[in-house]
Structure formats: structure tokens, C-alpha cells
Amino acid sequence: MLIEQIYLGCLSQASYVVADEASGRAVVVDPRRDVEEYLRFAAERRLRIELVVLTHVHADFVPGHSELEAATGAEVAMGEAAPVEFPVRRLADGERIALGEPDGGVVLEAWATPGHTPESITLAVFEHGGDQVPKALLTGDTLFVGDVGRPDLLGSAGRSPEQMAAELYRSLRSRILPLPDDVVVYPGHGAGSACGKALSSETFSTLGQQRISNYALAPTSEERFVEVVTQGLAEPPAYFSQDVALNRGGHRPFEADRALPRIGATEAVRRAADGALLLDVRDDQSFAAGHLLGAVDVGLSGRFAEYAAAVHRPGQDVVVFGSEDEVAEGRLRLARVGIDSVSAVVTDISCLASEPDLVRTSSRLDARSVAGRLEDTDDLVVLDVRNPGEIASGALPRWLNIPLPRLLGRLDEIDPGRPVIVYCAGGYRSIAAASLLEASGFADVSDLIGGFSAWQSATELAPAG
């Protein structure tokens, strides 16, 4: 039996290759869209990828089932309740997938475990077909390390979060918790994912460890479980609805090798003025020192894909600015969340020196300077782009909270004629938000260098309480 976890840190997403090494037959579970790593792994181990299983309709990324199907001819499978419009093999509850000899080889068994979404399944992995207890569970978004899947996302088919949480309670109690402590739990996501609220940084665990440490598995009534699991949920990123629609309808394989037109600064600025997203993928310091007029900065160093999706309107044309390597990486990571509308790139960064009329710099203020602006500027807007749960640690005076994933849809709540200071926890999200405001016509925008952490460190400036 072989179970290989392939973890993508920038999306906190785990996919798996499960195989019977004797037969060489393999299944890939919840692959990401760039599938070369699965193909390389299979070739190195002399495996044949025969099946791709999606545990549910994903909201946070676009899986690579179409890409693997095109590359290997593998069949695509989901739970029998999957609300998708493309051909799939529908796995019945309890259906077994033999990868080796029926009584001796590795077997997967599909279990219907609704709760995160109605069609969610868990894959039980048996080392031998005759075993009564699985060695491992691939739990998708049903059970995480330290948490369970959110019951309030966009695949609930008219059910309320409370109804979905009740289904999740029953799935956990009837299918997963009766198993022995040594069963290994392999989840679909880790810390940082918006598909849960308290995920651990550990990417796998055992059921026994989760009984002890996972708040959602504590002995409790269904009513209390529903209350606990549905409280304190942050609003999901706006792009989730777009990915759900794409993942229900199906997508064409991503063409990573397709060459894109290279354009100059003048054309890039013109396209931005005409409504394209001119996305600068360099780091915040490089962007602040000089960027093209109308550009929005989301650096590759952080959670690029989800924040780039947050500043992108559905169907909006995208022009990517950066070095050759940065542009290639940015385009790939955009595709992982379903943004295939990159129409051109700008890789000649020397244009920032040769065409100064098209270049702007960013206003960035340290904590002391922000304190001065708070004292001197009565109509100052202090925009906090953190998530609501982060504000418990404190906030600047006179703050307005609009989380970055919601800012694009709420720009009309801010007067573009008033000066704005933007801050987040450490500075990554704030320059993305500040640049989005500038590109949207706001005339006086600055961001707080180092974010709220820098504000707190300047103890003499920190607000009382």
C-alpha cells in the first residue's frame, strides 16, 4: 500500500496518490491543476493512474481532474450526489475500488459523509481487500486536523448551515468515530484554508489524536455540535462562488505551455484604463518604489492565488507584470483558482525607468507617521482589511473593517475624496488593498508599514485597552 501526500502550502491544499505497488494501479485524489508532479511521481514508481477522485465540489481551488484525464486517460469519479454537469463515474456509498487482487491488494471504499457539502465523500483505504478496518481515511473537507469542514459554503443545495452541520455531526458519529484510534487521517486542507476555522499546521494525524485535540470531536449533543461548528465563521472569499460554478460545470485543461503576448508599458496601462486587471506580482517594496499606473500588487511571497482572486472581477482580462519567472509562476497560480483570463504579460521591468510618465510610487507610512495623521486629519479613513476574527487582538482608532476578500465589492462604502490609510496584520494585504484603491481612482492612499504588528510594537502609540 502506498499513500503519498502532495501538499501545496500556498493554498493549504493536500492531494494524494494511492496505489497498490504490486499491481502498479494508482488513484489520484483531489489533484491540483498543475499535474506534472503526479505524472512524475507515477513514472518514478512505475504506476498507472487509472482513476481521479474528487471528494466534493471544491470552492477554494479548481482541481486538475481534466488535466489528468487528458494526460493519462484516467476516469474521473465523485460521490453519487455530486451536482456536476460533466461526465463522472458516480461512486455509491460503500462502493469498493480494488487496486490489486480482490482479497490481497489495496482497496478503496467510498463513504458518503455529507456535511461540508451534500455530496462530500471520505475514502477509506484498506491495505488488503479482506481487512475489516481501514488503515487510513482520506477525509477531504469532512474532517481536518484540529477542525471539521465548514457547513456554510456554497454547495449546500438550499440547506442552511445548521442543517449541514447536523448532517456533518451524523457523518462523523456514524462513519468515522467508531473506527480505532490508530487509523490515519489524511485531510484535504491545513492551516490557512478558508474551508475551516481552526485548522492545524499538521497535515495528517490519527483518529486517536483527533479525539483528544479536535474540538469538533468532543462528546456532545447534535444541538451543541451545530451551535459550536456554525459560530465564528468568517465570510468566505468572494471568489468561492465563481470556483463552485466552474467546478460544477467543468473546465478545459490548463495550457501552461501556451505562449502569451508580451506587451509594453503603454499598452499595459491602456488596457488597465479600459478595465483590465494589471496585476503586479512583485514584492511590496519593489512595487512601492515604482509601478505602472493602474497596477494592483499581490506579491507571490504570500497567499497569492486567493488574494489575486479577491481583486479580480469575474471574466476580467488580466495582464501580469513581473520578471519572466514571476510572470510564469503568477499565471500558474492564477489558474489554480480558475483565473484563465491572462491575455498578456509585461516582463521588461526596465520600462519603469525608461517610461517615467507611466510610473507611480506608493505612499507607505510607519506607525509614528500614522499616529500623526490620526491627530491632524479629521476626515481620515482608517481601513482595516483583516478578517473580523483578527480584530479581537486590537485595532487602530477610528477603523473601518472591510476584509480584503470583500473590498472589491464594497468600494462604494468609502469616499474616494477622503484620505485613506490601509492596514492589515503585517503589511502583505494592506498594499494589495491600497493599490486596488489607487487603481480605482482614490487620490490619497497610504498603507501602514508592518501592519498592526508594527503599531503594537510602538507601545507608546498603542491605543489604551
- Of 10, 195, 351, 424, the active-site residue reads 424
Cβ neighbours of residue 462 closer than 8 Å, sequence gap 6 or more: 394, 455, 456
The long-range contacts involving 201-208, CB below 8 angstroms and separated by at least 24 positions, are: 202/145, 202/146, 203/5, 203/7, 203/14, 203/145, 204/5, 204/145, 205/145, 206/181, 206/182, 207/137, 207/176, 207/177, 207/179, 207/180, 207/181, 207/182, 207/183, 208/180, 208/181, 208/182
b/e code 302-320 from CB counts within 10 Å (16+ = b): bbbbbbbbbbbeeeebbbb
195 is catalytic: no
Pairing between strand 75-79 and 136-140? unpaired
Look at the block and give the residue holding cell 510594537.
Answer: 457
- Secondary structure (3-state) at 52: strand
Show the cell assigned to 96: 469498493
Phi and psi at residue 435, in whole multiples of 5°? -70, -35
CB atoms within 10 A of CB 196: 27
Distance CA 439, CA 436 (A): 5
| Contact (Cβ atoms closer than 8 angstroms) between residue 33 and residue 61 | yes
Closest CA to 433 of 400, 456, 455: 400
Distance CA 150, CA 112 (A): 17
Q: Which residues are catalytic?
A: 424
